A and B are shown apart, each in its own frame.
Chain A
Amino acid sequence: MSADLAVTAERQTTWRRPPFILNAWLRWSLIVGAFAYLVLGIGSLEVNWARVVQGLERGYLFVKAFLSPDFVSRWDDIQRGFIESLTMTVTSTAVGVLLSIPVAIGAATNLAPRWIYLFCRGFIAISRTLNEIIVAILLVAMFGFGPFAGFLTLTFATIGFMAKLLAEDIEEIDPDQLDALRATGATFWQGLDFGVLTQVLPRLIGLSMYRLDINFRESAVIGIVGAGGVGDTLNTAMDRYEYGSAAAVILVIITIVMVAEYTSGLLRKRIQ
């Protein structure tokens, strides 16, 4: 052992991994800062431990409910919720995708004049920044309770999402094809049809499938604020402490999402 120490004194023989942040002062202040934040943050949570302990039993009941979900007693409500959610998903995706195409063309620098570009980008920014739940609250206040408000919410969100990603794709198309078309005397619309759409179609279809998946998940949530769909069913079940029905709803959501993800993955693989 003493021999080892002697060697270390001469030259360092063991390799040590270099630190992630080279500046030692910055590294330590980050570590200390992170710890200080953790202490402050956890301290601010104000946990009511008595309530938590009491809740553990409910948690156990809930886990048990997942093992024996109750599809039967509220089947009508569950069915209604899912029909609303699924129809909302289909209609809002279809309408949203259709409306997003002109917005995407307007938001592509290589096709649209400046003022249209700014307008469309502004619309996309608003649509993407506003949380779906908040949009749903406002639309429910305006259009009344029910899936129609949910349909509008999801359509609004779909336009922002699709238009942004599609506009990026349109900006990256091969301009030669469009030039070639223009050289033959093609009109603006013909150029769009044969020069742009043909190039972005695979991505358009892929994104639509992806959005269909997202819209279904969101449709399960916005019911909590009254915009229809299965979220409404779930909210009611939780309010009544019917954990069995709630577990049934959640299991069906997970199943549908899994199936949707699998099929959309298959479709996207075939198209691209």
Chain B
Amino acid sequence: MTTATTEHAAPAQWRRRAPRTELLVFGAWVFALAFVSWCFQVMTAETIWSFVTDAPKQAADIGGRMIPPDWGFTRELLWPLWETLNIATLGTLIGIVIATPVAFLAARNTTPSALFVRPIALLIIVASRSINSLIWALLLVAIVGPGPLAGVFAIALRSIGFIGKLLYEAIEEIDETQVEAIDSTGAAPAQVMAYGIVPQVAPTLAGISVFRWDINIRESTVLGLVGAGGIGVKLEAALSVLAWPKVTMLLIVILATVVVSEWISARVRQKLL
């Protein structure tokens, strides 16, 4: 205390921020907290809290009913599992076929018209990406009827945006000197595309496709909830009659499928890239 005899009364302690900034940061935190609490209040305005406080009891009850899993049910699940696999794979294939030209139209260096075509291609990509495959499935089931066909197209429609976005970003980042080299040999535009651009993005496209296939397996397991085929149909049926041992078995099979597909996709991508 007595040692502080310097002329300019230096602050006794180091502070990370100036007092003014500190006040601002504090104010921002208060505002954020108030905003989140307000959102929470609005959200739970109609929540019945007795159901929420009852949840541990419900959880214990359901947990008790879920064990043991119905192992014999597995035999009935092989066909839906095969259907799920087909929905994901065929959906991914259709997605790739549509997404590739869209990506070339959306990439700044390959688009025929940056003013007219590019915005349309980007809009297709954004629209496809904003809508989850389950919502696409909901719409398609109403249009083409329940069954795996709706699932295939739901997966395809969602995949267009994902593959399209990553692919057009890859196309924009290609090495232009290779394109110029092919161009300078007098190649036609289609030849420039085939020998200058496509070889540069083909490995990326393969990697993206496998990655999306893995996500699609995961998503196609629940498409059946809205009637779009696959193993989700069984899940919906088991849930609607509260057959909890079957639900447990379904969850085990779904989890195993997701883990296996993730493993395959990781291995393939490792080899590709």
Contacts and interface: CB of A to CB of B under 8 A. Distances in A.
A99 interface: no
A47 interface: yes
Contacts of B251: 134
Contact of A41 (B55, B62, B90): B90
Contact of B39 (A41, A87, A250): A87
Contacts of A41: 86, 89-90
B35 interface: yes
A151 B152 CA distance: 30
Given A129-B258, A142-B59, A231-B135, A45 B40 contact: no
Contact of A217 (B127, B132, B143, B219): B132
B116 interface: no
A48 B145 contact: yes
B43 A257 contact: no
A51 interface: yes
Nearest to A260: B130
B147 interface: yes
A102 interface: no
Interface centre among B135, B142, B219 (most CB of A within 10 A): B135
B80 to A, nearest CB: 11
B122 to A, nearest CB: 10
B188 interface: no
Nearest to B152: A45
B58 interface: yes
A118 B107 CA distance: 43
B121 interface: no
A45 B51 contact: no
A131 B90 contact: no
Contacts of B149: 45, 47, 52
A42 B90 contact: yes
A52 B225 CA distance: 20
Given A48-B145, A142-B55, A90 B35 contact: yes
Interface in A70-111: 83-84, 86-88, 90-91, 94-95
Contacts, number: 141
Contacts of B259: 129
Nearest to B53: A143
Contacts of B40: 87, 91, 151
A59 B143 contact: yes
Given A44-B83, A147-B43, A254 B51 contact: no
Contact of B126 (A42, A44, A138, A257): A257
A246 interface: yes
Contacts of A134: 222, 251, 254
Nearest to A262: B126
Given A51-B144, A62-B143, A133-B225, A142 B58 contact: yes
B55 A143 contact: yes
B26 to A, nearest CB: 16
Give the size range of B's interface with the partner. 35 or more
A132 B142 CA distance: 23
A46 B83 CA distance: 10
Given A44-B83, A257-B130, A91 B142 contact: no
A148 B48 CA distance: 9
Nearest to A194: B16
Interface string B79-110: 00011001001100000000000000000000
B130 A217 contact: yes
B55 A221 contact: no
A146 B142 contact: no
A148 B254 contact: no
B46 interface: yes
Given A41-B89, A45-B148, A88-B43, A133 B83 contact: no
B265 interface: no
A58 B132 contact: no
Contact of B132 (A17, A46, A218, A225): A218
B143 A90 contact: no
Interface of A: 17, 20, 37-38, 41-42, 44-48, 51-52, 54-55, 58-59, 62, 83-84, 86-88, 90-91, 94-95, 129-131, 133-134, 137-138, 141-144, 146-148, 151, 217-218, 220-221, 224-225, 228, 231, 234-235, 238, 241, 246, 250, 253-254, 257-258, 261
Given A44-B82, A48-B145, A231-B135, 10 more contacts: A44-B83, A47-B147, A62-B143, A87-B40, A87-B42, A133-B222, A148-B43, A151-B43, A218-B132, A257-B129
30 contacts: A37-B89, A41-B89, A42-B90, A45-B90, A47-B149, A54-B145, A87-B40, A90-B35, A90-B39, A129-B258, A129-B259, A131-B218, A131-B222, A131-B258, A133-B222, A142-B55, A142-B58, A142-B62, A147-B44, A151-B40, A217-B130, A217-B132, A221-B132, A225-B225, A231-B135, A234-B135, A238-B139, A238-B142, A246-B139, A254-B130
